[in-house]
Structure 1
């Protein structure tokens, strides 16, 4: 009997070697990296989102009968730590793909790692356009609507406003620089009469909000583009309110309508800002209602945008693996190109030409209701409608 068992084990091992990358009866391990200690307001709901998705995926049979397992690591908001974590996940844990990241410079570091190690990487949150265009590579795909996409949505509305003199404030790193540059490009194209009168570049997480507010006021703008978020946003709003910076001025603001960032503002939320965000309690589509019900049942809490991103990211990863029916990197890449995935915001497509998904965003205005910041007058903008043409993308993205 023991010889028979041993022979079967040898046969099984030989079979596994003979079919590299094919899905066998085993756990499928995905590596996940994020700035959990660096920005918990977003990443904690994000983790809850992907954990819910993994639970649902496995309850429905996993990946073609195999259990999906996620091994998660904290990058502490540092690119070097993210690359170290990625290396450990690939070399020691044997993950078949990498997912995640929040900050844009970390996403770029992981994309570069993916290209060097020839490992598939599905970025969730990093918003810089470079990750799919100027520094894009064949191993990297991105879920969230990019800076270009959100800037295009906001510029479309900002161009209708009668203001001409604009000032900007953004964190001085890849995300902030990219967001300001593309918004200026798109708005100026629509409104050649616009004048850019000043800009402020506070360090991420270390804004001197009083000095920034004074400097912006000194430029005498009619409108302000704000790209600060998290604790920096709270400080900026508080000082701006105190100093009357926003009175009589138009403010356009990336991300401010996301619960992660508008909730802490409470009654201090400025009214009438044009923002992108997520009005979670007002989205009544069947896809979102199913997600909301499941999320609230599991966590007894309402979702933030991070929750949606985490959930949709793991659903996307699972669909890639199912379609590929393999863990081979080249087959994962091929499976993602043109892949359609259901999300709480509806079906999205991962584009072949630049590996960007067509996930959209909500655009609306800020208001205060019952002492809380909320989004009003909002609508969902389909990401596919806010991407450049294929000819333009070919100029922006290297051939790889």
Structure 2
């Protein structure tokens, strides 16, 4: 996240800043704690005099910080926290106009994954997922959506791993005892790496037909597993560095790699694009005043490394698409990449206002 923001700041300042002012930023760790996130937001606005607040990994932190933004009256641009309650509840239903999200929401994890899985020769599904809102919501969306396409689908077992789980043995044993044909998981980052390594030791990939992980294509997972990542697993992320195949994305990846000697993580791209979105909106508004920038962001379209993003006026969610694919080896890279790519059109899996279902 910090790498993407740093690169954006360097490039924006080289281009004259925002309305002639240099872009400056500070980072503070939320420690995945809502109260710490709120404390940080208050510090940035009240003491550091920030014009904008951006970031946040955790959905719980995003919800807590989002609720205080009317009081702080500064724009919060969320770059990861994926809960649908941000855009559907806080923005659309409660009318908190200071919140925007540039990253793909949980619709990618729960709904798009089911649209990919509906064509698999799999009837019996189980999950090993995080024991908190993200895991629960993704699984419920997956089940509901898959049932619409595959009435024959069965959901035979579920096991919920607390944040920071290192030993997935009991979870693997629990779900495999139900003889699933497919496993859906939303474990991410280090936990996803640990889960896949231990699943290999348990022989899971030789016993099931399909493995689906919406966060399995994230760069930290790809790099963490390297060549140990089994091929043929269905994965996605919130951005993948080789998609879309545009000059804008290729240029970003090249500059990022030159600056940091690594490929961009999804949070690198969303942070990078967040700053450019704020620059575009501020210059469109001719001001950094909150109300004016909100109006400029609403219904704004931007061309980013992740593709064309459109900020819906109703719920302030950026709409864009991220590909799915099967893990495969490529001699150009020391990690798996995505093969057999499929992209579900955003209008098919993003939920739409008035969010009645």
| TM-score normalised by length of structure 1 | 0.82
Asked if 2 retains the 8 angstrom alpha-carbon contact of 1:123 and 1:142, the reply is yes
Match of 2:217 in 1: 257
Partner of 2:341: helix, strand, or coil? strand
What is the Cα deviation at residue 310 of structure 1?
1.6
- Does 1:317 pair with 2:278? yes
In the TM superposition, what is the alpha-carbon distance from 1:369 to its structure 2 partner?
4.3
Q: CA deviation at 1:269?
A: 0.9
Q: How far 1:313 sits from its partner (Å)?
A: 1.3
1:209 equivalent to 2:168? Answer: yes
Match of 1:383 in 2: 346
Structure 1 contact 269–368 (Cα < 8 Å) conserved: no
Superposed displacement of residue 258, structure 1? 1.5
CA shift digits 1:255-279 (9 cap, x unpaired): 1011111221123212221111355
- The whole-number CA distance in structure 2 between the counterparts of 1:149 and 1:314 is 23
**Hey, what does 2:14 align to over in structure 1?**
59
Q: Deviations over 1:339-391 (max 9, x none)?
A: 1112102221100111100122121011244573322112455534432344x
Which residue number corresponds to residue 180 of structure 1?
A: 139
Q: Deviations over 1:102-124 (max 9, x none)?
A: 11111111111213433321111
Gaps of 5+ in 1: 1-45
CA distance in 2, matches of 1:288, 1:184: 33
Which of 177, 180, 199 is matched with 1:218 structurally? Answer: 177
Other structure's SS at 1:335 match = helix
Q: Does 1:299 align with 2:252?
A: no
Q: Look up the match of 2:325.
A: 364
Larger Rg: 1
SS state of the match for residue 98, structure 1?
A: strand
Contact map agreement 1:100 1:125 (CA 8 A) in 2: yes
Write out per-residue CA displacement over residues 295-348 of structure 1, whole angstroms, 9 at most, x where no aligned residue: 123223322222211211111121222222223222222111101112102221
Aligned residue pairs total 349
Question: Contact 2:70/2:98 (CA < 8 Å) preserved in 1?
Answer: yes
Which TM-score applies when normalising by structure 2?
0.92
Q: CA RMSD in A?
A: 1.9
Kept in 2: contact 1:260–1:305 (CA 8 A): no
SS at match of 1:170: strand
Structure 2: gaps (5+ residues) = none
Deviation at 1:95, TM superposition (A): 1.0
Q: Find the residue that maps to 2:104 and give its secondary structure.
A: coil
